[in-house]
Amino acid sequence: LYFVTPELSTEVYLQVKARNTSSFPILASEAVNVYMDGSYITKTQLKDVSPSEEFTTFLGVDPALKVEHQQIQTELKQSGWTSKQSTSTAAYRTVVVNTKPVATNVTLVQLLPKSTDEKIKVELLAPTKDRVTEAGAGRDAEAQAAPAAKGSKGEAILQNKVTNNLVFHLHLEPSEKREIPFSYSVSWPKDKEMEVKDN
């Protein structure tokens, strides 16, 4: 599995999901050596894993998957008879390219702001709401490999109900280039001060 959050980094990380099939626990470690087909590939870290428990971990960056990410539009509008409402709109262009000779599944997370104030409204503009399924009970939902609602070839767009982020599960054929549209607006009373915090 591959994972990327382009607003934070355009590097695509290889992620493994596995199950402890032994009858012994795997103990937590900050220095786990990973081998594939008998060859050393990377060092990672693990938390405690009980017998039969599933776990995920990252195995480093795969340069064969390329991501371009840029903000293509930002706009601030005042509306209302005496400009009582402010609206900020942001649009991003994200392109994912699979240069690998095999089809690849990529989980891409776009950071969508979340309001804790009923006077501040966040509206998703693209993708449209009818293409998005609400899912996830926590931050781990963004790293889940199998989305709850799957479309063609396992593709889905989920919205994490805790963080509000959009999680795109993509299936990319060899040499496929895919553009992911993402835009939203934030509206608030002009006299209201906004404070932005990281998700």
Looking at per-residue pLDDT, the higher value among 15 and 48 belongs to 48
The confidence band for 147, taking pLDDT boundaries of 50, 70 and 90, is very low
Torsion angle (degrees, nearest 10) of CA 101, 60, 12, 198: 170
The confidence band for 16, taking pLDDT boundaries of 50, 70 and 90, is confident
Tens of pLDDT, residue by residue over 23-73, are 999 999 999 998 877 889 889 999 999 999 999 988 889 999 999 999 998
DSSP string across 27-82:
PPEEEEEEEETTEEEEEEEE--B-TT-EEEEEEEE-TTEEEEEEEEEEEEEEESTT
DSSP type of residue 175? T
Lowest pLDDT segment from 69-83, 85-99, 102-116? 69-83
Amino acid at 177: K
Percent of the chain with pLDDT over 90: 60
State the Cα–Cα distance between residues 82 and 80, nearest whole angstrom.
5
Looking at per-residue pLDDT, the higher value among 35 and 195 belongs to 35
Regarding pTM above 0.85, the answer is no
The confidence band for 145, taking pLDDT boundaries of 50, 70 and 90, is very low
State the Cα–Cα distance between residues 195 and 136, nearest whole angstrom.
25
3-state helix, strand, coil in the chain (%, to 5): 5, 55, 40
Q: What is the reported pLDDT for 194?
A: 56
